[in-house]
Amino acid sequence: MNKVKVGIVGLGRQGIDQARNIAFRIPNAELMAVNSIIKEEVQEVQQNWGIPYGYTDYNEMLANEELDAIVIISPSPEHCWQIEAALDAGFHVFSEKPLGVSMEECKIAERAVERNEDKVFMLGFMRRYDPSYAYAKQRIQEGSIGKPILVRATSIDPESTIEGAIRFAATSGGLFLDMTVHDIDLARWFLESDVKSLYATGGCYLHEEFEQYGDGDNVAALMHFENGTMAMFHSGRNAPHGYHVETEIVGTHGTLRIGSVPQENQVMIFDNHGARQECVNGFQERFEEAYRLELQEFIDCILEERKPDVSVYDGTKSTEVAYAATESFRENKLMTFKKEVSQSNE
């Protein structure tokens, strides 16, 4: 196989960008099929880009034997059944985060991955592929900050996209599952441990529309990890200045900070507002390169017959933690995780 032939499901906000990456920016991939329940989206992409196959029914796409891989960028509640169906039909699968919107769904996806272990499965935690986060991980592995003991993470969508966020709230799974889940995955990755206990809080401080979904427009959580390390999270929907993603990893001998000012470029503007820098306005802009690189990794894994760094278990763990954080926020209680008991007699 020289090129991996890909079918994509979902051509919305995120799907159209990833379809473009597969079609035009990943040399060893070919976008052969597109699927959305919205017929016009399918027709438009097929006509504009000359894509041979278009479907409004997901299962019909899975019957196409010319395809090698399925990329899932549909709404979060669709992920797990689509993952299971695609793996069982013999395809390699990439799925957007979060893995699922319930633990039962995540376990279904886990079992499908386990019974199709000759297939590549990758979950879209793209921040791990962002060059700055990848560099931070490399520095930590080289020991340059000593032992990492604390991750402090901020992720805030811009106020300018608030209408979309409110529309999306019914299917997003809530702020912890939709947004903090990226930070939870990063904290697990940097601290090399799992969450032992957590407490979360938050509220609707500016946009009460989120309340009907049991969601907040700003939430925060404090977590304690099994290896004794810590993490602090703040996620929100209303940054006035742009898309603010900032991560700090504090070690015993130094600190790494990524994205303190979400600057759009290197230009400093000195004018009657003071001295300032313009900021990026959305995830598409900030993580453009990471989205391409994660899909490139998925395709390379298929061609080189190896497994990616982000597994289905990372998806389950981060979903479990995001769920516990949501429950803690809603019910004002401390959550603790039981360590999984090994089945062996060791």
Residues in contact with ligand NAI by CB under 6 A are 9-15, 35-38, 41, 58, 73-76, 78, 96-97, 124, 126, 178, 283
Nearer to ligand NAI, 53 or 225 (CB): 53
CA-to-CA distance for 92 and 112, rounded, in angstroms?
Answer: 12
For the bound state, the minimum distance from the C-beta of residue 262 to ligand NAI, rounded and expressed in Å, comes to 14
Provide, rounded to whole angstroms, the least separation between the CB of residue 96 and ligand NAI.
Answer: 4
User: Residue 227: what are its φ and ψ, rounded to 5°?
Assistant: -90, 15
Q: Which CB sits closer to ligand NAI, 10 or 315?
A: 10
Closer CB to ligand NAI, residue 64 or residue 76? 76
Handedness of CA 36, 39, 40, 42 (dihedral sign): positive
The Cα–Cα gap between 98 and 80 comes to 10
Residue 303: φ, ψ to 5°: -70, -30
Name the minimum Å distance from CB 36 to ligand NAI. 4
C-alpha pair distances (Å), 163 with each of 36, 210, 313: 23, 11, 33
Q: Rounded to whole angstroms, how far apart are CA atoms 250 and 231? A: 10
**Residue 282 Cβ vs ligand NAI, minimum distance, rounded to whole Å:** 9
In the complex, residue closest to ligand NAI by CB? 12
Please, what sign has the CA dihedral across residues 305, 98, 66, 34?
Answer: negative
Instruction: Give every CB contact of residue 10 below 8 A, 6+ residues apart in sequence.
Output: 35, 36, 72, 73, 74, 75, 78, 96
For ligand NAI, which is the closer residue by CB, 85 or 231?
85
Contact assessment for residue 93 and residue 86, using Cβ atoms and an 8 Å cutoff: yes
The nearest distance, CB 82 to ligand NAI, in angstroms, is: 7
In terms of CB distance, is 80 or 145 closer to ligand NAI? 80
Q: Which is nearer to ligand NAI, 121 or 225 (CB)?
A: 121
Min dist. Cβ of residue 281 to ligand NAI (A) = 14
Q: Shortest Cβ distance from residue 309 to ligand NAI (Å)?
A: 15
Least distance from ligand NAI to the Cβ atom of residue 72, Å: 8
Which residues neighbour 203 within 8 Å (Cβ) at sequence distance 6 or greater? 216, 217, 218, 219
Instruction: In whole angstroms, give the CA distance from residue 187 to residue 26.
Output: 29
Closer to ligand NAI at the Cβ: 23 or 73?
A: 73
Nearest to 57 by CA among 72, 35, 75, 34: 35
**Is the torsion defined by CA of 183, 188, 189, 191 positive or negative?**
positive
Nearer to ligand NAI, 76 or 296 (CB): 76
Q: How far is the CB of 196 from ligand NAI (least distance, A)?
A: 26
Task: Let me know: does 19 contact 53? Beta carbons within 8 Å.
Answer: no
Nearer to ligand NAI, 12 or 254 (CB): 12
